[in-house]
């Protein structure tokens, strides 16, 4: 019995000793596995590092594009000033000095005031009509010519960009493409590109030449053209592809403007009729019953009523113009 107990105690001691050494053996194997795991992860880390280094050029280009856009936006914000008479004349394509413009305005004001005084006999009405005609009529003519010139420019501008795309794809330099546009395209597109070429020939940088181009023709399409060329010059890239995309955008923009014009034509016609109705009715009443309408022109109270009506009519016309003017 004693021998049996001794045997059981010995077996228990051996089991405890074996259990105590088992964790030590398992713990010894783990450090041997760690270098293998580290070596297995190291290729993945190297791959990620290589991928990051490969993506660096793209990130740098995007940063350059973003910086260029911010710089162009900053310059555009600085240039948002009120349009001067000299700028209006230049953008209308006229070679009229500013002094002659003001002389023409003064002559128009005097003639309208004199004719109104002969017709109505009221100095106040004559002075108001002369001032409105002198300050408004010549300016309206210049703005009309400016808008017509910009419209003619936009008709051919997309075709000019297509000429640049085809020229760049065939291996021509950008200056040669601009020269072809200046020679082959009708005015005002050809004239504007010839002026830009002259600026480049005298040593002006492309960025400054594009800025002057936009100052002479301040339309969004020219601003897009300026942004594309500026980004391509600073950040690089495929110029023909970028200008081809721009040409497609300009054509889609023109098509959308045509749809908007067709949809808003009814509203514009109604606004024109409503704005002209009071003036037409005043003329009809004066032609049929002049004695009935003459107190408005001969008496001070009637003059004040006419001035108030003119102010309200002008305010209404401005509000309707804002409501029916759609920009793309």
Per-residue pLDDT at 65? 55
How do residues 147-163 score in pLDDT, each as one tens digit? 999 999 999 999 999 99
Q: Give the whole-angstrom CA distance, residue 145 versus residue 88.
A: 9
The answer to whether residues 243 and 168 touch, using CB atoms and an 8 Å cutoff, is yes
Q: 286 vs 72, 277, 281, 291, CA distance in Å?
A: 57, 14, 8, 8
DSSP string for residues in 62-114: HHHHHHHHHHHHHHHHHT--PPPHHHHHHHTT----HHHHHHHHHHHHHHHHH
**Rounded to the nearest 10 degrees, what angle do helices 220-235 and 123-169 cross at?**
40
Per-residue pLDDT at 59? 66
Map residue 155 onto helix, strand or coil. Answer: helix
* Tokens coding 26: 């398992």
Q: Give the whole-angstrom CA distance, residue 129 versus residue 135.
A: 10
Per-residue pLDDT at 144? 94
**Rounded to the nearest 10 degrees, what angle do helices 239-288 and 123-169 cross at?**
160
H-only helix segments in 170-293:
174-184, 189-201, 206-216, 220-235, 239-288, 290-293
Per-residue pLDDT at 143? 93
Map residue 51 onto helix, strand or coil. Answer: helix
Distance of alpha carbon 277 from its chain centroid, rounded?
37
Instruction: Encode burial over 42-59: b for 16+ CB neighbours within 10 A, e otherwise.
Output: eeeeeeeeeeeeeeeeee
Q: Give the whole-angstrom CA distance, residue 68 versus residue 63.
A: 9
Segments making up each domain of the chain, as ranges: 85-324
Q: Give the whole-angstrom CA distance, residue 309 versus residue 168.
A: 60
What is the CB neighbour count within 10 angstroms for residue 271?
18
Per-residue pLDDT at 179? 92
pLDDT in tens, the chain (328 residues): 444 555 445 445 444 444 444 444 444 444 444 444 444 445 545 444 444 444 455 566 566 656 665 665 665 555 555 788 898 999 998 888 999 999 999 999 999 999 988 887 778 888 888 998 999 999 999 999 999 999 999 999 999 999 999 999 988 888 899 999 999 899 899 999 999 999 999 989 888 999 999 999 999 899 999 988 888 888 777 888 889 999 898 899 888 888 888 888 888 888 888 888 888 888 888 888 888 888 888 888 888 888 888 888 888 888 887 877 766 6
How do residues 75-88 score in pLDDT, each as one tens digit? 555 555 578 889 89
Per-residue pLDDT at 159? 92
How do residues 180-239 score in pLDDT, each as one tens digit? 999 989 989 999 999 999 999 998 988 899 999 999 999 989 999 998 888 888 877 788
CA angle, 156 then 161 then 162, to 5°: 95
Which positions ≥6 away from 160 have C-beta within 8 Å? 181, 185, 189, 193
């Amino acid at each position: 019995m004693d021998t049996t107990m001794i045997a059981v105690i010995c077996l228990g001691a051996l089991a405890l000793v074996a259990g105590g050494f088992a964790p030590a053996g398992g713990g010894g194997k783990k450090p041997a596995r760690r270098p293998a795991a580290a070596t297995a992860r190291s290729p993945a880390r190297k791959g990620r590092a290589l991928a990051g280094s490969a993506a660096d050029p793209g990130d740098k280009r995007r940063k350059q594009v973003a910086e260029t856009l911010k710089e162009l936006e900053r310059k555009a914000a600085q240039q948002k000033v009120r349009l001067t008479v000299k700028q209006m004349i230049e953008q209308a394509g006229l070679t009229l000095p500013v002094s002659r413009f003001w002389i023409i305005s003064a002559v128009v004001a005097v003639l309208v005031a004199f004719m109104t005084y002969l017709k109505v006999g009221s100095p106040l009405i004559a002075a108001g009509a002369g001032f409105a005609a002198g300050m408004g009529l010549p300016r309206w003519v210049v703005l009309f010519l400016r808008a017509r010139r910009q419209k003619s420019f936009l008709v051919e501008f997309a075709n000019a960009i297509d000429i640049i795309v085809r020229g760049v794809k065939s291996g021509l330099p950008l200056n040669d493409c601009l020269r072809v546009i200046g020679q082959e395209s009708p005015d005002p597109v050809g004239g504007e590109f010839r002026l830009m070429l002259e600026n480049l020939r005298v040593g002006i940088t492309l960025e400054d030449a594009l800025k002057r181009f936009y100052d002479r023709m301040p339309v969004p399409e020219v601003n897009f053209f300026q942004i594309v060329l500026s980004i391509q010059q600073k950040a690089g890239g495929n110029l023909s592809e970028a200008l081809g995309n721009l040409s497609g955008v300009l054509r889609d923009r023109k098509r959308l403007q045509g749809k908007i014009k067709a949809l808003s034509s009814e509203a514009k016609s109604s606004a024109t009729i409503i704005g002209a109705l009071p003036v037409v009715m005043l003329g009809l009443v004066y032609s049929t019953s002049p004695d009935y309408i003459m107190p408005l022109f001969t008496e001070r109270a009637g003059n004040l009523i006419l001035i108030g009506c003119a102010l309200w009519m002008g305010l209404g016309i401005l509000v309707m113009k804002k409501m029916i003017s759609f920009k793309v």
